[in-house]
């Protein structure tokens, strides 16, 4: 295998401090591949083990890596209120099929400061009646925040579920002006 091919297989990671706690960001030569909430040591180690199993290579901590530099900068700018859209190459290899289709639509079709219902998102991908499957796709999202599953809510006005926890979802929606900032 050429050295170029080896670089494409490399997985690098870093933990970034944010207003919602530490986020693990992981990237390959194709782009950002994983974002993990609440990246304490135990959560980080579990996530890195899963990535190694799924991608066939051990992730390497490399916060200064060119593969991560832009992602780190954009995540920091987002939480500072200076960025509304992520413009990053994404590696979709951890998700496929319907889930990938739904997440791609979410990434391109639901802008900052907007929300969409689970059923509405199902309709957008040509699967009316698949609201529950959309919920499953949100739970399987390997790129939360960047692919904004926090913007998917219940049609009756409820906040819905969230893999990062409901308080995290509320804080992300407040950051984007959808919900008021918590008082405490």
pLDDT tens sequence across 127-156? 999 999 999 999 999 999 999 999 999 988
User: pLDDT digit string (tens) for 158-184?
Assistant: 898 899 999 999 999 999 999 887 655
Crossing angle of helices 97-109/131-139, nearest 10°? 90
Distance CA 9, CA 145 (A): 24
Token duo for residue 18? 């944010």
What length is written for the chain? 184
Model pLDDT for residues 86-121, shown as the tens digit of each residue: 999 999 999 999 999 999 999 999 999 999 999 999
Residue with tokens 């804080």: 171
Cβ atoms < 10 Å from Cβ of 34: 25
Q: Is 106 helix (H, G, I), strand (E, B) or coil?
A: helix
Task: With residue 28 as reference, give the H or E element that holds it.
Answer: strand 23-28
Catalytic residue list contains 66: no
Residue tagged 């390497």 (tokens)? 60
Residue of 134, 149, 152, 153 marked active site: 149
What pLDDT, on a 0 to 100 scale, did the predictor assign at position 8? 45
- Whole-prediction pTM: 0.91
**pLDDT tens across 30-67, in order?**
999 999 999 999 999 999 999 999 999 999 999 999 88
User: Is it the case that residue 6 has pLDDT exceeding 80?
Assistant: no
CA 164 from chain center: how many Å?
10
DSSP one-letter code for 151: G
Distance from C-alpha of 88 to C-alpha of 32, rounded to nearest angstrom: 7
């Amino acid at each position: 295998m050429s050295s170029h091919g080896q670089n494409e297989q490399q997985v690098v990671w870093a933990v970034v401090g944010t207003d919602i706690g530490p986020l693990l960001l992981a990237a390959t030569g194709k782009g950002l591949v994983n974002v993990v909430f609440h990246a304490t040591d135990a959560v980080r180690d579990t996530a890195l083990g899963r990535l190694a199993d799924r991608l066939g290579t051990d992730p390497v901590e490399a916060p200064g890596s060119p593969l991560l530099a832009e992602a780190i900068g954009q995540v920091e700018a987002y939480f500072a209120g200076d960025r509304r859209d992520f413009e990053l190459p994404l590696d979709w290899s951890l998700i496929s099929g319907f889930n990938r289709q739904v997440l791609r639509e979410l990434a391109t079709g639901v802008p900052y400061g907007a929300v969409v219902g689970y059923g509405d998102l199902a309709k957008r991908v040509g699967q009316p009646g698949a609201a529950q499957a959309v919920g499953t796709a949100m739970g399987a999202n390997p790129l939360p925040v960047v692919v904004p599953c926090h913007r998917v809510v219940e049609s009756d006005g409820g906040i819905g579920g969230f893999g990062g926890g409901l308080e995290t979802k509320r804080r992300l929606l407040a950051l984007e002006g959808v919900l008021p900032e918590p008082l405490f």
